[in-house]
Amino acid sequence: MNEGLEIQVAANRPKMNSGLRRWILGMLSLTLATAVWGYANVVIQQTEATVAPAILIWLRFCIAAVILAPVLLRARLQAKDWWLGLGMGAFMGLSVLAQGWGMKSIPVDEVAFITGLYVVLTPIAAAVLHRRWPHLLVWLSVATSVGGVALLIEHLSWSAHIGVVWSCLAAVGFTVQIIGTASLSRRVPALSLAALQSIGATAALLIALAIQGTTTPHIYTGLFHWPASDWLRIIYLAIIAQVLTSWLQVWGQSRISATEAALTFNLEPVWTVACAWMVLGEGLTNLQILGAVLILGSLTVVSVPSRSR
């Protein structure tokens, strides 16, 4: 009888090892994606010293759209999927632009944590759309995260107010984009969706760029005559932080649960803080660290599904 049990365990071992390997690779894939996004936030702030945010973000999505567009040639999508995908891409592009404008007046690590509030806002918006009252834990998470933001912003100057407003608008924009994308993801392949959203973001940012150019034409000064370091950062944002992470996200999420994926995505602001400290020499005070912990805790709470939620 023991021999039979040993044979059965030995037969199941390859399956267990295969499942564990699949899970580890999935977690590593998404962790790498969040690290890339975290560093991308720092790269945006670095490049904004010489390149206007609207131009920088437009180039990021424009290059990504050119690379991903061939995916759509074989996609058989309905007209409504095209329009919704492009629309959600517009929200994504404008939200990233709002992030970039926020970084002009407050540190990048603070922007990352405030923008991360979309994780808290999304279940509230979804509950409103479905005419349900959000769970008490969601409201507690909102209160906790608001307290965290207050601790992050120690000295409220006028410029800090502007940076916080832009970061909060980015969080709202990402919330809309996530809810709209959720329905699309059931019908549209992930890479096709990434291509659609990159094109939509490019179009929306081109309009934003044209509007801003009429009021502040100096943003076109020295257009495209940037040092090689800026071009390398733009290539990183487009190819690594946009195209590669789209593939990493799709590949990784297919190997782990939705809960594990949501929890892993919460690492992005943590990576941003680490990269800002190593590259820019920025750091958080003790109160700001407490605020960041409160925000990260609220994000974690709402990332874990519950039957009652």
Q: How far apart are the first and last CA of the chain?
A: 46
**Which residue ranges of the chain lie beneath pLDDT 70?**
1-16, 153-160, 258-259, 303-309
Residue of 269, 271, 257 whose CA lies nearest to 303: 257
Model pLDDT, residue 12:
53
Model pLDDT, residue 222:
74
Model pLDDT, residue 2:
53
Residues 86-108 have pLDDT tens digits of 999 999 999 999 999 999 888 88
Alpha helices in the chain (DSSP H): 2-47, 53-68, 79-102, 108-115, 118-129, 136-152, 158-184, 190-215, 228-235, 245-253, 258-265, 268-275, 286-303
Q: Is 135 helix (H, G, I), strand (E, B) or coil?
A: coil
Model pLDDT, residue 304:
66
Q: Is 304 helix (H, G, I), strand (E, B) or coil?
A: coil
pTM of the predicted protein model: 0.83
The identity of residue 45, as a single letter, is: Q
Largest CA distance in the chain: 83
Residues 128-184 have pLDDT tens digits of 887 888 777 778 887 888 788 777 766 555 556 788 899 999 999 988 888 887 778
Q: At what angle do helices 286-303 and 136-152 cross, to 10 degrees?
A: 160
